Structure 1
Amino acid sequence: MEADAGGSARGAQDRPAVGLVLAGGQGRRLGLGAKALLRSGGASLVARAVGALRADGCAPVLVVVGAQAEEVATEVAVAGGVPVRNQDWASGLASSFRCGVAAVPADAARVVVTLVDQPGVGADVVARVLGAHRPGRIAAATYESVGDPHTGPRARHPMVFDAALAREAADLAEGDRGAREFLRRRPDLLDLVDCTALGSAADVDTPEDLHLLGP
């Protein structure tokens, strides 16, 4: 029995992980339209996010679109991703998380969740977190520059969920909190993966953050 369980776990890990990019927001504080369409290094942020996930073998790569859905969906398709329409995108990040998780194939073993507005999250970061993930758990990137001196490192994206746990987290998601409530309730399931040397969780949220896009 133990050998069979181990073989089952290895088989699940061997199957391609499903990628999930949350890209439905309008970027109101930035004021430049959908952040997914901002360009960095000659490509849109959404194309970069899809590329980072595909480079590490994620298949399919689902991208939740909302604001400027037609334009973003075109970028997604060209990059090799699959657009997923969220009609309720204006209600906050949680609706995009729920919408994306609902589109994950029923036989998926793992789901890699990332945000479209973090240009410092590339394929190297995705690979490290994927490599650290264990069945039945959640692995999340952490970065030295993001934390609290009293509580220590914080879980940031990308996050790799056992698919069943992704569905549980989506059920609890509200407003702009995504998986935060689930992680608060079940910290015992979380493994933090130091990605400081590989990237950054800094997001493009206001005009002061535009330097993160680079040339």
Structure 2
Amino acid sequence: MNDSKTLTTIGFDADDTLWQNETFFRLTQDRFTDLLADYAEADHLHDRLLAAERRNLGHYGFGVKGFTLSMIETAIEVTEGRVAASVIAELLASGREMLEHPIELLPHARQAVERLSGSHRVLLITKGDLLDQERKLAQSGLGDLFHGVEIVSDKKPAVYAQIFARHGAIPDQAMMVGNSLKSDVLPVLDVGGWGVYVPHGLTWALEHAEAPVGHARFHSINSLGDLPDLVDSLT
């Protein structure tokens, strides 16, 4: 590892950057709307569920468990307390299935992390439920490639600055790579680092943000297969 390079540290987001995640949330949301189809239209249920998720983030954080609790809360609300116990049981089962779903790596994920781990300090920086994120990392087979793993409750500028400092980098020596402009790119740009956006195709509504087009340290790539060449061009 050559710490004399301008760019020494590369952080990778996990969900929908290295492996599939939002796809399973969408499938479960479809199951949720099917179970409650007698009480409300799908669009209305989606809106009510999203409002519950937004309202509950501060209590439950990010991840499957908070999503499951928000589904149950929404089911109770839209049925005015008449939701059947069997429906609640189905929603709980859906949450457990999400927590047990096998990991599906996204294209070029392993190759990108392997190649860059030989020349840079690579970190996994992810938010969500601790046990679920640890499970997914273990199943991914990528764990041994990272020089550090950080599972955080939220991704804010100060959080990134603290992580980079813990791993021996100042922000302008660091890059964050991910599919969320709001969580993976903008906070790192705010502290002086590099932000690389890798679109996934499915993005949770609460993660939407405008791209900082024209920012000198912002880059967008089509897939992780393009990342090593981008890093080479910057170092």
Q: What's the TM-score bracket when you normalise by the shorter of the two chains?
A: 0.3 to 0.5
Larger strand fraction of residues:
1
Q: TM-score, normalised by structure 1?
A: 0.39
- Relative contact order, CA 8 A, sep 6+: which one is greater? 2
Larger helix fraction of residues:
2
